[in-house]
Amino acid sequence: MMRASSKKEGCNHRRKGLTGLETAIILIAFVIVASAFAFTVLNIGFQSTQKSQEVIAAGIEEASSVMEIDGAVIAKSNTTYLHNVSFIIKLSAGKSPVDLTQGKLAITWTSANKHEDNIYDGTKATVTPVFTSDTDMYLKYGDKYRVFINLKNDGVDDELRANAEFKIELKPPKGAVLTLSRRLPPALEPVMFLG
């Protein structure tokens, strides 16, 4: 006679699965990894945004002119040829001081017959204070300096006559170039207001 066993043969059921604790640990691990990844992505995003803002600010600083003309451009001639051009410059509102010493500021001259890269040498072009609170050559807010371009007896003279065009550029160490373009009137006078 065969004995009946309490266990069925071949029905050895062992359940394998996750308990609630193991599931919670796995979910917490996923959340921690996702949080760390999200923090990294956000941090990189904030850094790139800050860098972009710095680049934009630097670009605006370089693109905006730090100097501007204060008043008229005055030219003098012997009624046949242009002899000199002068004008007053001042600092643009909200800009940092500009060094106007030779070697820092470059002044270029361009006309139909001639181009010179830097004529600021104390003879062909000079920059002198008109109204300033100190003796340094830094253009600060409220200061005014006179730029004088001598076109005779120095090799710059390309004998500009009536209706001739010329361009003067002041290139500071930092900031946009101040460009001044003018056309001489049809008849030259000893003193001319060029606007």
Mind listing the pLDDT tens digit for each residue in 8-26? 555 555 666 667 777 788 8
Provide the residue type at 53 as one letter: Q
CATH of the structural domain 67-193, one choice from 2.60.40, 3.90.1310, 1.10.150, 1.10.3710? 2.60.40
69, 62 in Cβ contact below 8 A? no
Residue of 172, 133, 128 whose CA lies nearest to 150: 128
Provide the pLDDT for residue 60. Answer: 60
Q: What is residue 195's predicted lDDT score, i.e. its pLDDT?
A: 85
Q: For residue 105, what pLDDT is reported?
A: 93
Domain boundaries, the chain: 21-63, 67-193
Residue 10's pLDDT is what?
A: 54
pTM of the model: 0.67
Contact 180, 194 (CB under 8 A): no
Give the chain's residues under pLDDT 50. 1, 156-157
